[in-house]
């Protein structure tokens, strides 16, 4: 899959992925963060971070609370993090967010964490496809399917 | 400072299912420092509660506020409008803050959102350690600044107990033996002889054994 095959937002399948990408890990992140788009009919909103460690637990929770079905964070590999320990810190925050989501039965598996190979120009495309594929398997967030008293 | 730890979200959510207007109230002092109850934790807790309650089929509004302190009447008063507007408050303050909130806003239910754990300090990012047991009779100078009441598992006044191995406590191999640390520090100060003097049994009435304690500063008391 290449960036060219990423579609503009259409009907979609009702699944939403909010993705965060370290600005240093993919040159394509800047282009893709301009507007929402679709991959495999999953609507994706991508935001660049100056470093993956800028991710906060709250970013993940709020995304799911306000309608996302999944959240992805793409970091640099540990040995090429420009800020040394950025991706390690990011992983710890993602782990905490997953723990909270497990506690409340939304499911920690809806949060994807992956490092992008800096030598692979298609790394972001592959990660996008993997995340959207996993999200299609998981289906809609339980927050969207629950009835309210 | 007072160190606290977040409770499981479900433990809190289970108590909130019959309320419509919920306020998560943080405290910007000790519990903010130990990352259990400051503004950031209020936002995380509120978001998690909104999701947890939605999954329980509850349609509740969860608002957020953070007081500078929940243990000072003047500062509690600053968040009074938000508290008054809520049916129930989840306080992320320490137990002192929760108790003060009850005193001020009775009969409004104030539910603790954190567990108050100990008096301690931040050893390094992400790690807080107990350093004081608030026993009411501080003699920490005798033990070179290492409190055996707070840091020895047996609170021994004349240690060590003989159960330590390689400087670690027998109850936890990751826990430093307080008396090992005391001896090493006094040795480095060339003051090991001070331990020849036996410390007499302690009067625990200054601690919890004497019941709830109070401090009066007469020249400012009104």
- Distance from B57 to chain A by nearest Cα, in Å? 4
Q: Tell me the residue ranges of DSSP E strands in B68-221.
A: 88-91, 110-112, 114-124, 127-132, 168-169, 172-176
Which of A29 and A73 is assigned the larger pLDDT?
A: A73
Residue A132 burial by Cβ neighbours in a 10 Å radius (0-12, 13-18, 19+) = buried
Q: Is A9 helix (H, G, I), strand (E, B) or coil?
A: coil
Q: What's the pTM value of the predicted model, to 2 decimals?
A: 0.92
Compute the CA torsion angle B142, B145, B147, B151 (nearest 10 deg): -140
The confidence score (pLDDT) of residue A30 equals: 81
Q: Chain B contact for A31, CB < 8 A?
A: no
Pair B177, B148: CB distance under 8 Å? no
Summarised one tens digit per residue, pLDDT across range A33-71 is 888 999 988 999 999 999 999 999 999 999 999 999 999
| CA-wise closest residue to A124 among A9, A33, A16, A13 | A33
Residue A148: pLDDT band by 50, 70, 90 thresholds?
low
Mean pLDDT of A16-34: 87
Task: Report residue A82 as tokens.
Answer: 């420009």
Query: What pLDDT score was predicted for residue A10?
Result: 64
Q: How confident is the model at residue A25 (pLDDT cuts 50, 70, 90)?
A: confident
CB A64 within 8 A of CB A142: no
**What count of other Cβ atoms lies within 10 Å of the Cβ of residue B49?**
24
- CATH 3.40.50.2300 residue window(s) in chain B: 2-118
- B57–A106: do the CB atoms touch at under 8 Å? no
Terminal C-alpha separation, chain A: 44
What distance in Å separates residue B50's CA from the closest CA in chain A?
8
Q: Residue with structure tokens 């299609």?
A: A136
Task: Please compute the mean of the pLDDT values over residues A94-113 and round it to a whole number.
Answer: 97
Q: Confirm or reject contact between A65 and chain B (CB < 8 A).
A: yes
Rounded to 5°, angle at Cα A10 from A7 and A13:
100
The pLDDT value recorded for residue A4 is 42
Assigned superfamily of B2-118? Response regulator (3.40.50.2300)
B chain contacts of residue A58, beta-carbon cutoff 8 Å? 40, 43-44, 47
């Amino acid at each position: 899959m290449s960036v060219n095959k990423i579609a503009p937002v259409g009907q979609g399948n009702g699944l939403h992925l909010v993705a965060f990408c370290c600005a240093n890990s993919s040159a394509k992140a800047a282009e893709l963060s301009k507007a929402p788009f679709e991959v495999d009919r999953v609507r994706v909103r991508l935001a660049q971070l100056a470093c993956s460690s800028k991710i906060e637990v709250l970013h993940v929770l709020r995304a799911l609370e306000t309608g996302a079905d999944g959240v992805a964070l793409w970091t640099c590999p540990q040995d090429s993090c420009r800020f040394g320990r950025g991706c390690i810190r990011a992983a710890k925050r993602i782990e905490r967010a997953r723990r909270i989501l497990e506690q409340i039965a939304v499911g920690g598996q809806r949060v994807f964490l992956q490092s992008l190979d800096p030598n692979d120009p298609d790394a972001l495309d592959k990660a996008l496809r993997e995340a959207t594929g996993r999200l299609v398997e998981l289906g809609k967030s339980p927050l969207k399917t629950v009835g309210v008293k | 400072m007072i160190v606290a730890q977040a409770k499981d979200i479900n433990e809190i959510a289970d108590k909130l299912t019959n309320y419509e207007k919920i306020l998560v109230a943080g405290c910007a002092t000790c519990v903010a420092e130990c990352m259990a109850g400051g503004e950031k934790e209020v936002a995380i807790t509120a978001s998690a509660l909104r999701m947890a309650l939605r999954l329980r089929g509850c349609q509740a509004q969860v608002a957020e506020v953070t007081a500078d302190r929940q243990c000072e009447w003047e500062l509690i008063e600053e968040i009074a409008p938000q508290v008054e507007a809520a049916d129930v408050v989840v306080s992320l303050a320490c137990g002192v803050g929760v108790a003060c909130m009850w005193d001020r806003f009775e009969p409004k239910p104030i539910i603790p959102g954190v567990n108050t754990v100990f008096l301690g300090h931040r050893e390094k990012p992400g790690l807080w350690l107990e350093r004081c047991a608030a026993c009411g009779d501080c003699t920490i100078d005798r033990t070179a600044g290492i409190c055996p009441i707070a840091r020895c598992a047996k609170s021994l006044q004349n240690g060590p107990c003989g159960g330590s191995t390689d400087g670690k406590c027998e109850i936890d191999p990751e826990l430093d033996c307080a008396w090992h640390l005391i001896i090493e520090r006094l040795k480095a100060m060339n003051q090991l002889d001070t331990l020849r003097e036996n410390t007499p049994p302690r009067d625990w009435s200054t601690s919890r054994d004497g019941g709830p304690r109070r401090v009066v500063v007469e020249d400012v008391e009104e």
